[in-house]
Amino acid sequence: MPGVFDRLNKEIKDKQQEGGITALDLAELSPALRKIMRLMLRELQMSYPRLCEAMDAMPEKDRLTRDGLDESLSTLTQQSWLIRIGEGEKAIYKVNLRHGDGSKLAAGIWSSLDAKLKGKPKDA
């Protein structure tokens, strides 16, 4: 019989498949990925050169190599933690914040409005 923890674990995994992040998800990241996400969450959007500068400003023991940074950014992009706009040195990375569940009322209003608009003549 599934318990509360099983249901919570399933809910977390379902949300991870939707894309975006929550604060709870950060705890599950590897140290390298968590380091990048902490940087990103301070500004929400950073260019690749700015990320490199921020990484270089870290204490030496905390820094990632360029290859490590590139691999981590690729992983975070593939897992929908970050959104990449552009390529290479000109890339801009944005945090993919998960939006909360919207109101069910709003969805009903929009579908009703859409149905009414589709029923009207084109020249009205």
* 113 part of a folded domain: yes
- CA-CA distance, 94 to 19, in Å (whole number)? 13
* 44 part of a folded domain: yes
* 48 part of a folded domain: yes
Q: How many domains is the chain partitioned into structurally?
A: 1
Say whether pLDDT at 84 is over 90: yes
Tokens (6 digits) for 26: 């950060």
pLDDT at 71: 95
CA-based angle 11:26:29, to the nearest 5? 100
* 124 part of a folded domain: no
> Are the C-beta atoms of 35 and 64 separated by less than 8 Å?
yes
> Considering the chain, what percentage of its residues have pLDDT values greater than 70?
65
**3-class SS of residue 117:** helix
CATH code assigned at 94: 1.10.10.10
Say whether pLDDT at 101 is over 50: no
* 63 part of a folded domain: yes
pLDDT at 22: 63
* 111 part of a folded domain: yes
pLDDT-derived band at 7, boundaries 50, 70, 90 = low
Domain that holds residue 85: 4-119
* 36 part of a folded domain: yes
Burial class (CB in 10 A: 0-12, 13-18, 19+), 64: buried
Say whether pLDDT at 100 is over 50: no
Question: What's the pTM value of the predicted model, to 2 decimals?
Answer: 0.61
* 49 part of a folded domain: yes
Mean predicted confidence (pLDDT) in 91-119? 67
